[in-house]
Amino acid sequence: MNDVVASNIAANVATATNLSVAPSVTSLAISTQIESELPSSDDSSISKPQIIQVSSATRKISSYTVAAGDTTDSIATRYGISSQTLKWANNLTNDNLKVGLVLDVLPRNGIVYTVKDGDTVQSIADKYKADASMITTYNDLEISGVSTGLKIIVPNGTLPNTEQPGYVAPVAYRAASTGGSYYSGYRAGSVGNRYAYGNCTWYAYERRAAMGMPVGSFWGNGGSWSYSGRAAGLLVNNIPSYGALLVEVGSPGHVAVVESVAADGTVVVSEMNNSAYGGFNIINNRTISAGQASLYQYVH
């Protein structure tokens, strides 16, 4: 089969199946046809429209065995990807690595996805905020498309909150009321929660317990939780991660729980008793830009 025939078949299939890359494949077929009709002695050249080409060697998922001193950041930097991509690919909920652990390393930022029944390239792109044509090209799907069970890489894909490692659905808490007015003060939400009901610390204690990441019962006001967390032996830094406690230092300060961190560094937190979102006993989510997020302390 010569190049002209092959490119025409590819164009016909792409058009018939309504692939997003059909225009590019068709253009390539036309250029191939034109080039084949040029005299062999003609020195003129034609620049053919191309689908984005990526060396197959760069598209393989590799493995890495954790050595002493390794961190998610150092490994990610070595392979030219983000630490978030590394953690998502290995279902890591934090930055703690055990020596000898074998990690999957993606060739670029994004996620690994196993195609499910009913999926299309476009539906996958929409769900993970990615580009459909890039998914098609990167995984050589121009002819075959996607099929159930196929494992693909979604370049620059972002996991939704519900699919991020360690995700636990938020629990709705409701205060008791008398005559339509809510009361404040101590109320045990779970064993060990000694914080004032309706406050940020009460909610943070409950949320972390639900995530399997319990905190102390007597860490004080929200503004002191980074100090208390460090004293308890937990990692405290300025790097957000799923489940970490975002601390606004001060008196009384504030504490929230990180629900997700996007590939661009944008952070979503859940919290209670934020006056800007309803105040006492109100649970809300809010989004924080990457630049702003880096200004807070995080207890992991």
| pLDDT grade for 60, boundaries at 50, 70 and 90 | confident
* Res 163: pLDDT: 87
Whole-number pLDDT of residue 252? 87
pTM: 0.51
Please give the Cα distance from 128 to 114 (Å, whole number).
13
Crossing angle for the helix pair 3-16 and 22-37, nearest 10 degrees?
160
Provide the token pair at 123. Answer: 């539906």
Sorted by sequence, the CB contacts under 8 Å of residue 254 that are 6+ apart come out as: 200, 222, 223, 247, 248, 271, 274
- Give the single-character DSSP code of 153: E
- Using the 8-state DSSP alphabet, how is residue 25 labeled? H
Q: 280-296: per-residue pLDDT in tens? A: 999 999 999 999 999 99
Percent of the chain whose predicted confidence (pLDDT) is above 70: 73
CATH assignment of 56-158, among 3.10.350.10, 3.40.718.10, 1.20.1070.10, 3.30.70.360: 3.10.350.10
What CATH class is the domain 177-299?
Answer: alpha beta
Q: How confident is the model at residue 162 (pLDDT cuts 50, 70, 90)?
A: confident
State what percent of residues in the chain have pLDDT above 90.
55
- Per domain, the residue ranges of the chain are 1-51, 56-158, 177-299
Reported as a pLDDT band with limits 50, 70 and 90, residue 39 is: low
145: pLDDT strictly greater than 70 = yes
Q: Give the mean pLDDT of the chain.
A: 81
Determine the Cα angle at 279 with ends 278 and 283, to 5°.
Answer: 75
Of residues 54 and 269, the one with the higher pLDDT is: 269
Q: What are the tens digits of pLDDT across the range 170-188?
A: 665 544 433 333 333 344 4
Statement: residue 161 has pLDDT above 90: no
Over residues 90-103, the mean pLDDT reads 90
